[in-house]
């Protein structure tokens, strides 16, 4: 009873104390700090509604904050108050409609603010006085219809302002608002509702503006006569409703170098006679009239532009026999003819473009192309032929292009590649043959590409890599062969790629690599052969990777194979430089005999989905010798239990990820050896709120070095009725402090019990007596009124004292005193003829009290002893306090042993 009360009180007290000190676990509900850069807080797509709360615990050093793709409606006052060092904030793709005044208070170093894709209506009430260092502000894709002139004034370092996709109608108001932003160089007003540019009352100077984007508005007339922009170099007015140009406009933009008139109903003749001495780049897709037949006027315009180098004329309907005329009247270096309707390019159609360097012929529906097409283009270095219908490449097709460095042929239908197609391209560095339905590549196809360093043949239908396919590519660095149907790579086919650094063969059907396949790739750094059908179990004793001395990253994840036999020990032999190994989705049993001890430099290993019910300890045991590991990923492995010594020896481990497993408890001993741990990810495990996890809940408090991403969003597993947050569940009673109190409490209790039992033994009789007397007293209090007695007292005495009894006692009590008592006096009241013992019993029973007149004689008398015992028995059995004692003389040692036991109670 005692124990219970005290400990309960102590616990209550402790709980009260603990509630007062909040648990400051490192690991936030909605954000995590990037492993690579702890100053970057990633809060993307976490269904955040309350921004203030989501970011309030982030560390003060945070510089970059990405809260994109959430459900934030309001940016409250002082939301960022705890993060004064922020340089960049992304709040795009939320539903923000309100930005309270003072929302950005304290962000005096902020340089980049992205509020695009929200529902902001107005910037008027913003209190942005603190954003004095802001360089880039993006409020595109909102509902803004006007900008008050003063609202942007404090942003005097602003360089880029994006107001695209809003409902702004009046350009003048915007121009006035940015008028004093002396560093603003880019203004994006595309996709608004501007119709008229000439609404200003006076000339507005936009001194620093360099790029002005007014595309996708409804501007009818290009009239810049009220806006003086001495430094403007780029003007985009594409997709407007522009039918005319105010000729005086261009005198206000003397440095204009680039202009985009794409998709306007504007007739090119409006540019006749206009002075644009610095114009180098003209975009005029869907030009009016179209370039189908008469090119006289366009050429007149082009001729008047002395510096024109870059021309974009998509959807121009220019035909292949006409295109040369543009070449005649220009000195272009870049020509973009995408989506022009060329079916054939067979004559010397392009030879007039003498200075051309970059040519875009993508999406032109070209079926046929001839060598003669390229004659004269000796400066061409980049040729884009992507998305045409080219199905055949004739012999030496590109041979006139002696300067070609970059050739993109992707998305054509090149089922078959002629082995002489690429001859003479000996300056080519990059060749892209992606998604071309190529089925076979003949040997020596690339033989003259002596300078090729990048070859992309992804997403084709190649089934075999034959010997000599890549011969002579002596300086090739990157070869991309993923997403084909390759099932075998012949022994020597990669033999000559002696400088290859990156090879991807992912997503094929390769079932076998021999010990010579990668034999000569001595400089290879990255090899990806994931998602094939490799089993490795027909391995020779020599590893296929043995010669890859400089390989740093190897991906062999997800092989479509039934993994019958374990693979040989030597699989990773020779990979002494390997840093990253990905073996996702391969059952660990497959590696049972493999020695990982060759991988002495391994720092990162991904074992996601490898576990499948085996024992984790033996899995980790495999890589225990790789003691350089910093990043270990064991996600999605159905792990239910981790032996405490699993990670012993992984001293350098910084990042341990155990996401999507079935862990219920985390032992403290597990992480003890991991002295360098920085990130410990246990997201989506059914963690219990048990005492076993109490340490874990409190751990980060004492070790803020370790981040547990989304810790605050963990919930207690098994709480059926309502979710309880793992960190907020009070587990303090599990703590070590409480056990001290328990110890003290039980110690005190034991002590008390000890004392009590000692006391009981020593004073047993006294206690018992006391107990009975108490009971008697209580009973008497209750009963005294109810019972009727014949006598008030029975007088117990011995015959030697009768004289005193008659003369003193009875006289005083029966007749003299104020109150008259009725006494039972044996010589007078005993019924003659009855047994003496019966008389005594009756008398005691019928008397309220028994009065013992004690003297030496009394103590020696046997009858008196009997009377006392009978009276005492009433005390014990009837719970009545009946004894009164009168001492007639001094009786020394009354309670000593010589007195009969019966009298000791008197």
Rule CB under 6 A: which residues touch ligand NAG? 44, 50, 52-53, 66, 68-69, 74, 76, 90, 149-150, 153, 170, 172-173, 176, 179-180, 199, 201, 294, 296-297, 303, 306, 329-331, 515, 540, 542, 576-577, 601
Nearer to ligand NAG, 70 or 453 (CB): 70
Residue the block writes with tokens 């984790």:
616
Q: How far is the CB of 690 from ligand NAG (least distance, A)?
A: 29
In 3-state terms, what secondary structure has residue 12?
helix
Least distance from ligand NAG to the Cβ atom of residue 470, Å: 20
434 versus 630: smaller Cβ distance to ligand NAG: 630
Closest distance between ligand NAG and the C-beta of residue 488, in Å? 15
Nearer to ligand NAG, 45 or 243 (CB): 45
Q: Is 335 helix (H, G, I), strand (E, B) or coil?
A: strand
Phi–psi pair at 827, nearest 5 degrees: -65, -25
If DSSP codes are grouped into helix, strand and coil, which group holds residue 114?
strand
- Residue-wise burial string across 654-668, b where 16 or more C-beta atoms lie within 10 A, e elsewhere: bbbbbbbbebbbbbe
Angle at 879 between CA 874 and CA 883, to 5 degrees: 50
CB of 355 to ligand NAG, least distance (A): 8
Shorter beta-carbon distance to ligand NAG: residue 97 or 440: 97
Q: Which two tokens stand for residue 598?
A: 């060759």
- How far is Cα 126 from Cα 105, in angstroms, rounded to an integer? 10
Output 512 or 669, the one with its CB closest to ligand NAG: 512
CB of 176 to ligand NAG, least distance (A): 6
Beta strand residue intervals within 153-302, DSSP E = 160-162, 186-188, 204-205, 211-213, 221-222, 227-228, 234-236, 244-245, 258-260, 281-283
Helix or strand or coil: residue 853?
A: strand
Rounded to whole angstroms, how far apart are CA atoms 717 and 662? Answer: 11
> How many helices (H) and strands (E) are present in the chain, helices listed first?
16, 44
DSSP secondary structure letter of residue 823: E
Which value, to the nearest 10 degrees, does the dihedral of the CA atoms of residues 350, 351, 354, 356 take?
30
Closest distance of CB 162 from ligand NAG, Å: 15
Cβ closest to ligand NAG, residue 397 vs residue 626? 626
Pinpoint the alpha helices (H) of 67-185. Answer: 171-178
135 with 112: CB under 8 angstroms?
yes
Question: Least Å distance between CB 36 and ligand NAG?
Answer: 11
Structure token pair of residue 482:
């993923």
Q: Which is nearer to ligand NAG, 44 or 748 (CB)?
A: 44
430 pairs with which residues across the strands?
Answer: 406, 454
* Cβ nearer to ligand NAG, comparing 52 with 685: 52
> Which lies closer to ligand NAG via its Cβ, residue 28 or residue 903?
28
Q: How far is the CB of 367 from ligand NAG (least distance, A)?
A: 28
Distances (CA, A) of 262 to 336, 511, 885: 13, 52, 129
Beta strands in 147-237 (DSSP E): 160-162, 186-188, 204-205, 211-213, 221-222, 227-228, 234-236
- In the bound complex, what is the minimum distance in angstroms from residue 126's beta carbon to ligand NAG? 15
Q: Which residues pair with 853 in a beta bridge?
A: 886
CB of 630 to ligand NAG, least distance (A): 11
Closer by beta carbon to ligand NAG, 181 or else 776: 181
CA distance 386 to 408: 6
d(CA 857, CA 866): 14
CB of 456 to ligand NAG, least distance (A): 25
DSSP 813: I
Q: Decide whether 136 or 749 has the Cβ nearer to ligand NAG.
A: 136
Place of tokens 């807080």: 41
């Amino acid at each position: 009873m005692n124990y219970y009360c005290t400990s309960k009180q102590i616990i209550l007290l402790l709980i009260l104390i603990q509630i007062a000190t909040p648990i400051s676990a490192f690991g936030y509900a909605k954000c995590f700090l990037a492993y690579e850069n702890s100053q970057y807080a990633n809060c993307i797509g976490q269904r955040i509604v309350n921004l203030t709360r989501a970011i309030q615990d982030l560390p003060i050093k945070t510089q970059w904050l990405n809260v994109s793709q959430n459900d934030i409606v309001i940016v409250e006052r002082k939301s960022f108050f705890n993060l004064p060092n922020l340089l960049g904030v992304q709040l795009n793709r939320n539903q923000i409609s309100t930005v309270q005044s003072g929302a950005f208070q304290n962000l005096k170093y902020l340089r980049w603010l992205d509020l695009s894709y929200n529902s902001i209506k107005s910037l008027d009430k913003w209190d942005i006085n603190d954003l004095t260092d802001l360089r880039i502000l993006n409020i595109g894709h909102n509902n803004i219809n006007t900008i008050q002139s003063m609202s942007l004034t404090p942003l005097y370092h602003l360089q880029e302002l994006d107001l695209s996709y809003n409902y702004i109608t009046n350009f003048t108001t915007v121009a006035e608002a940015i008028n004093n932003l002396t560093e603003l160089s880019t203004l994006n007003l595309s996709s608004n509702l501007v119709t008229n540019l000439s609404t200003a009352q006076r000339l507005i100077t936009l001194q620093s503006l360099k790029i002005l984007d007014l595309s996708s508005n409804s501007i009818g007339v290009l009239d810049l006569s009220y806006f003086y922009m001495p430094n403007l170099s780029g003007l985009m007015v594409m997709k407007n409703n522009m039918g005319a140009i105010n000729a005086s406009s261009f005198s206000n933009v003397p440095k204009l170098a680039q202009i985009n008139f794409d998709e306007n109903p504007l007739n090119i003749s409006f540019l006749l006679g206009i002075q644009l001495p610095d114009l180098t780049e003209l975009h005029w897709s869907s030009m009016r009239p179209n370039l189908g037949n008469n090119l006289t006027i366009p050429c007149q315009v082009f001729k008047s532009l002395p510096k024109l180098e870059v021309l974009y004329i998509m959807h121009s309907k220019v035909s292949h026999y006409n295109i040369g005329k543009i070449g005649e009247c220009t000195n272009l270096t870049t020509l973009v003819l995408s989506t022009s309707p060329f079916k054939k390019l067979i004559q010397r159609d392009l030879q007039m473009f003498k200075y051309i360097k970059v040519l875009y012929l993508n999406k032109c529906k070209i079926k046929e192309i001839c060598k003669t097409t390229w004659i004269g283009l000796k400066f061409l270095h980049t040729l884009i032929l992507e998305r045409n219908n080219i199905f055949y490449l004739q012999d030496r097709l590109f041979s006139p292009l002696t300067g070609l460095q970059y050739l993109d042929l992707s998305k054509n239908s090149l089922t078959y590649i002629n082995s002489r197609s690429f001859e003479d391209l000996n300056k080519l560095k990059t060749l892209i043959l992606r998604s071309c339905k190529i089925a076979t590549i003949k040997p020596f196809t690339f033989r003259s590409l002596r300078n090729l360093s990048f070859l992309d043949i992804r997403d084709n239908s190649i089934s075999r890599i034959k010997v000599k396919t890549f011969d002579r590519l002596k300086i090739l660095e990157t070869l991309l062969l993923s997403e084909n149907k390759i099932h075998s790579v012949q022994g020597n086919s990669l033999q000559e790629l002696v400088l290859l650094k990156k090879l991807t063969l992912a997503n094929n059907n390769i079932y076998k690599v021999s010990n010579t396949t990668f034999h000569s790739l001595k400089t290879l750094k990255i090899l990806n052969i994931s998602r094939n059908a490799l089993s490795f179990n027909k391995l020779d004793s020599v590893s296929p990777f043995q010669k890859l001395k400089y390989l740093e990253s190897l991906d062999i994840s997800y092989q479509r194979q039934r993994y019958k036999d374990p693979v040989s020990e030597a699989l990773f032999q020779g990979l002494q430089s390997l840093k990253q190994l990905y073996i996702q989705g391969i059952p660990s049993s497959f590696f049972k005999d493999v020695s990982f001890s060759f991988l002495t430099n391994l720092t990162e290993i991904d074992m996601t989905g490898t576990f499948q019910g085996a024992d984790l300890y033996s899995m980790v045991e495999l890589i225990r010798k790789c003691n350089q590991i910093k990043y270990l990923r064991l996600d999605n492995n159905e792990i239910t239990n981790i032996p405490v010594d699993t990670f012993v020896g992984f001293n350098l481990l910084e990042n341990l990820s155990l996401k999507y497993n079935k862990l219920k408890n985390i032992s403290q001993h597990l992480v003890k050896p991991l002295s360098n741990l920085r990130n410990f990810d246990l997201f989506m495990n059914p963690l219990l709120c048990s005492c076993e996890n109490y340490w874990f809940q409190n751990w980060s408090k004492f070790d803020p070095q370790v981040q547990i991403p989304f810790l605050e969003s963990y919930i207690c597993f098994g709480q059926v009725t309502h979710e309880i947050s793992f960190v907020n569940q009070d587990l303090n009673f599990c703590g070590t402090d409480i056990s001290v109190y328990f110890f003290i409490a039980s110690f005190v209790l034991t002590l008390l019990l000890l004392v009590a039992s000692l006391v009981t033994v020593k004073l047993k009789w006294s206690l018992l007596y006391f107990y009975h007397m108490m009971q008697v007293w209580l009973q008497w209090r209750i009963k005294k009124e109810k019972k009727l007695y014949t006598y008030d007292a029975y007088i117990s005495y011995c015959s030697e004292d009768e004289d005193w009894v008659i003369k003193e006692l009875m006289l005083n009590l029966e007749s003299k005193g104020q109150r008259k008592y009725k006494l039972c006096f044996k010589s007078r009241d005993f019924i003659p003829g009855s047994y003496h013992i019966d008389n005594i019993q009756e008398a005691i029973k019928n008397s309220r009290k028994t009065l013992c007149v004690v003297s030496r004689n009394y103590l020696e008398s046997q009858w008196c002893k009997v009377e006392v015992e009978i009276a005492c028995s009433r005390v014990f059995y009837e719970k009545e306090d009946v004894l009164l004692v009168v001492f007639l003389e001094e009786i020394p040692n009354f309670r000593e042993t010589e007195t009969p036991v019966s009298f000791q109670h008197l």
